[in-house]
Amino acid sequence: MKKSIGMKLFIGITCFVVIIVSLSWILNTKYLEKYYIKKKSDNLIQYGEEIKSVYNKDIDDMDLAFMKIENQIGADITIFSKNGQIQYSSIFNEQKIGMGNGKMGRNVHLMKEDLEKIFNGERILKTYQHPRVEAKFLVLSFLLKNDNVLVLETSVASITESVEIAKDFYIYIGIISLILGAIVAFFYSRRFTKPIIELNNVAKSMAKLDFSQKYDVKTDDEIGELGKTINDLSEQLNRKIIELNEANERLKEDIEKEKKIDAMRKEFISSVSHELKTPISLIQGYAEGLKDNIVTDEENKNFYCDVITDETAKMEKLVKGLLELSQIESRSVKLENKIFNIGSLVEQIVNKYKPILKDKNINLIIDHDDKELKVKADISKIEQVLVNFINNAINHIDENGKLKISLKNDQEKIRVGVCNTGSNIPKEEMDRIWESFYKIDKSRAREYGGTGLGLSIVKGILELHNNDFGILNRDEGVEFWFELNKI
């Protein structure tokens, strides 16, 4: 199992409490009694010195002075002379002290060898365990003046007892401290680890790239500081990753665009070569025919020359168209926007078509909203658009022969529509016919000399103008429309 910091802290603090409590208990049981005895001995020595000084002063009321000391220290005082005569005793009333088998009376626990030492001027300080009475005594004895011996005795039974009680009591204190310590350790470790767990959760969601989680900074300490840093880090990472994603998207788009452009370029080149192939081989064939003098009569020679001129004209038309398209698509042409009347422009253009229309038996209708339809655009380019639409309409018109040009005054725009009767354009072709070289019916386009560039030039022009345009299939035919900006 994984050990959490909380658990470690809890165990650590609890162990610490256990060690402290055990140490105190050991010190207590081992040294408390010794310490008590040492203290008591010190006290005895101190009082012994006091008694000595009182005794040496020859105070009249010696008994009173001794009694005072006796009360303070709780020890028995005995003074006897060299021959065993009691000089003062706080316990005996007899005047003589018994020294049977080397031991002095009931309460004076001195041995013969002790006495010898005392008379030699040594100080005796000892504990004495009474063999019959279950008691222990602390005995201090030394020589006063005139060979009198002072004996101070105190029972250490009370001390031992106190120590025993203290030991017992200490077990309870130990248990209580342990429980209290464990509780404190538990709450303390939880309080300590809670923010760390929260921080870890924030970091975990960051690892999953979720930057919505934030650490709630509550403290001013290192953990609070770390929380702030992690929040900052999260924000910065989030920003950088968003930026990176955006850059990546752009890169992908660029690559896609590049690929498309590349494909378009290839297709364009193949289309151009394809378009040029037919006229070139025709011209080549007919020119060689002329050179080899295959035809001898004038009429046939003229026909050969006509074919060559025709095909050359087609090539010229194609090259002109390509040039124009490349200019428009590279956006190198500048629009010369002018205000003009679109109605008049349409009128002007259709006037030029009158002979052809008459020739082809086409019925032209012009549908004006009103006479004054002022627009702002590049007039020559718009003329090109109209010419392309009208040419296409004438090229695709059916036997009904109806051509309608409508000019509608919308709210912000003028809508121009060129409508001819004929077959509808299939939905799937509607986008493609704006591409260069695209023709729905190739042989028909060859008949009327179509290059397939007209609508792509129109598209380029109208995009330069930022104007909308499109195709609509009508009941009787198709309508090509575009919009112009009103002034």
Ligand X SMILES: Nc1ncnc2c1ncn2[C@@H]1O[C@H](COP(=O)(O)OP(=O)(O)O)[C@@H](O)[C@H]1O
Q: Which residues of this protein are in contact with Mg ion, per CB under 5 A? A: 392, 454
Range list of H helices, 83-221: 112-119, 157-207
Q: Pick from Mg ion, ligand X, none: which does 422 bind, CB < 5 to 8 A by kind?
A: ligand X
* Residue 439: CB minimum distance to ligand X, A: 3
363-368 vs 402-409, strand pairing mode: parallel
Which residue type occupies 87?
Q
Q: Tell me which of Mg ion, ligand X, none is bound by residue 439, counting a contact when its beta carbon lies within the kind-specific cut-off of 5 to 8 angstroms.
A: ligand X
CA distance 330 to 316: 21
The residues in 378-397 that bind ligand X, with binding defined as CB under 6 A, are: 388, 392-393, 396
At its nearest, how many Å lie between ligand X and the CB of residue 452? Answer: 4
What is the rounded CA–CA span in Å between residue 473 and residue 479? 6
Q: 105 or 454, CB closer to ligand X?
A: 454
- Give me the least distance between CB of 457 and Mg ion, in Å please: 9
Find the shortest distance in angstroms from Cβ 395 to Mg ion: 7
> Residue 454 or 460: which CB sits closer to Mg ion?
454
Q: Least Å distance between CB 405 and ligand X?
A: 13
Q: Which of 194, 215, 182, 250 is nearest to 10 (CA)?
A: 182
Interface map 139-168 toward ligand X (x if CB under 6 A): ------------------------------
Q: Give the nearer residue to ligand X in terms of CB position, either 141 or 421.
A: 421
Interatomic CA distance for residues 372 and 344, integer angstroms: 9
Phi first, then psi, for residue 400 (nearest 5°) are -65, -30
Contact map string, positions 330 to 369, toward ligand X, x by CB under 6 A = ----------------------------------------
By C-beta, is 392 or 420 nearer to Mg ion? 392
Which residue is closest to Mg ion by CB?
454
Residue written as token pair 């029972």 = 155
Is the CB of residue 312 less than 8 Å from the CB of residue 297? no
**Shorter beta-carbon distance to Mg ion: residue 276 or 387:** 387
Q: How far is the CB of 422 from ligand X (least distance, A)?
A: 5
Residue 446 CB, shortest distance to ligand X, in Å, is 9
Q: Between residues 181 and 454, which has the closer beta carbon with respect to ligand X?
A: 454
Name the binder of 279 from Mg ion, ligand X, none, CB < 5-8 A by kind. Answer: none
Residue 450 beta carbon to Mg ion: minimum distance, rounded to whole angstroms: 5
How far, in Å, CA of 186 to CA of 14, rounded? Answer: 9
From ligand X, Mg ion, none, interface partner of 396 (C-beta below 5 to 8 A by class):
ligand X
Q: Write out the two tokens for 46.
A: 């101190």
DSSP per residue over 391-438, as a string?
HHHHHH--TT-EEEEEEEE-SSEEEEEEEEESPPPPGGGTTGGGSTT-
Q: How far apart are the first and last CA of the chain?
A: 81
Q: What contacts 327, CB < 8 A, 6 or more positions away?
A: 333
The span from the CA of 64 to the CA of 90, in Å, is 11
The one of Mg ion, ligand X, none whose footprint includes residue 115, by CB under 5 to 8 A per kind, is none
Q: Looking at beta carbons only, is 198 or 324 nearer to Mg ion?
A: 324
The tokens describing 351, both together, are 């006037």
156 vs 403, beta carbon nearer ligand X: 403
Per DSSP, 104 falls in state B
d(CA 329, CA 464): 9
The C-alpha torsion from 70 through 76 and 77 to 83, rounded to 10°, is 170
Q: Cα separation of 462 and 386, whole Å?
A: 11
CB of 388 to ligand X, least distance (A): 6
β-sheet bridge partners, residue 367: 406
Q: Does 78 contact ligand X by CB under 6 A?
A: no
Window 91-130: residues binding ligand X (CB under 6 A): none
425: partner contacted, choices ligand X, Mg ion, none (Cβ within 5-8 A by kind): ligand X
Q: Which does 420 bind (CB under 5 to 8 A by kind): Mg ion, ligand X, none?
A: ligand X
Judged by beta carbon, residue 181 or residue 452, the one nearer ligand X is 452
Residues in binding contact with ligand X, number by CB under 6 A: 20
Spatial neighbors of 120 by CB under 8 A, at least 6 apart, are: none
CB of 464 to Mg ion, least distance (A): 19
The answer to whether residues 231 and 238 touch, using CB atoms and an 8 Å cutoff, is: no
Residue among 221 and 468 whose Cβ is closer to ligand X? 468
- Return the number of the residue (438 or 481) whose C-beta is nearest ligand X: 438
Among positions 415-474, residues that touch ligand X (CB under 6 A) are 420, 422, 425, 433, 438-441, 445, 450-455
Residues 447, 451, 454, 459: is their CA dihedral positive or negative? positive
Report the candidate in 128, 120, 157, 123 with the shortest Cα–Cα distance to residue 140. 123
Amino acid occupying residue 166: A
318 binds, among ligand X, Mg ion, none (CB under 5 to 8 A by kind): none
- Least Å distance, CB 317 to ligand X, is 9
Site for ligand X, rule CB under 6 A: 388, 392-393, 396, 420, 422, 425, 433, 438-441, 445, 450-455, 478
